[in-house]
Amino acid sequence: MNLDIITSPLLAPVRHGFFGREGGASSGIFAGLNCGQGSTDQAEAVTINRQRVAQAMDVPPGALLGIHQVHSADVIVVEDPAAPRARADAMVTRVPGIALSVLTADCQPVLFADAEAGVIGAAHAGWRGTLNGVLEATVGAMETLGARASRIHAVIGPTISQRAYEVGPEFMDDVLAEDPQAARHFARGTGDRLLFDLPGYGLQRLRNAGIGEAEWTRHCTYSTPARFFSYRRSVHAREADYGRLIAAIRL
């Protein structure tokens, strides 16, 4: 079993990983490490995949925690790994031995750490969640646990890149109506189409939040089918469903 795990020096020495699709038990359109319990993949395969991620993170399977993601700016503070799965898009904790995880398939998986304070976070940040402030909310929740924004490092993992993220003019209008500063993250495409830089926008929001350092790993989910799942690619291929990538972090 060889898992494809992307890490960043920015989060060291905190254990973390952005997992690609290699090394999983799923097959067909889900081939590889599909960790989406809400997908139509075989439940047994998803369970095996999540067990492999838990092993890589050196936690029991029950300590690999997730949330019911709803494209919100809601953040939960995790203190008890046995608590029911909440509807939210980010988690923070200062409890050792708990792996916080988020699932993505083009949206941004963002991992946070203030190693000095011993506080970590994980966020699922699509365009709507980013616009609504999920990244800033995660920083704020970490601060309630003793983190300091200037010490927090954040890394955006594999996500859809600007060259693959074509949108219409109404999308740009909706975004700019709420955040005019986002204008710099749109580029002209073909005809009236535009190209949106989601990770660039995420980095802007993180830096405006005053954190110490932030980076994107520069991996595009859409453009690398052998390595990553992509919702948008599955739509273009007229596939019935799609796999979900997992990103995790633990103290």
pLDDT digits (tens, 9 = 90+) for 109-147: 999 999 999 999 999 999 999 999 999 999 999 999 999
**CA dist., res. 70 & res. 32, Å (int):** 25
> Which of 3.60.140.10, 3.60.150.10, 2.60.120.560, 1.10.10.60 is the CATH number of 5-159+212-250?
3.60.140.10
pLDDT single digits (tens) 141-200: 999 999 999 999 999 999 999 999 999 999 999 999 999 999 999 999 999 999 999 999
Q: Span 60-71, mean pLDDT?
A: 96
Radius of gyration of the chain (CA): 17
Are the C-beta atoms of 213 and 153 separated by less than 8 Å? yes
> Helix or strand or coil: residue 244?
coil
At 1 the pLDDT is 66
Is 80 exceeded by the pLDDT of residue 231?
yes
- Locate 89 and state its tokens: 């898009």
What whole-number distance in Å separates Cα of residue 64 and Cα of residue 55? 10
* C-alpha–C-alpha distance, residues 164 and 221, integer Å: 9
| Domain boundaries along the sequence of the chain | 5-159+212-250
Q: Evaluate whether 31 touches 40 at the Cβ level (below 8 Å).
A: no
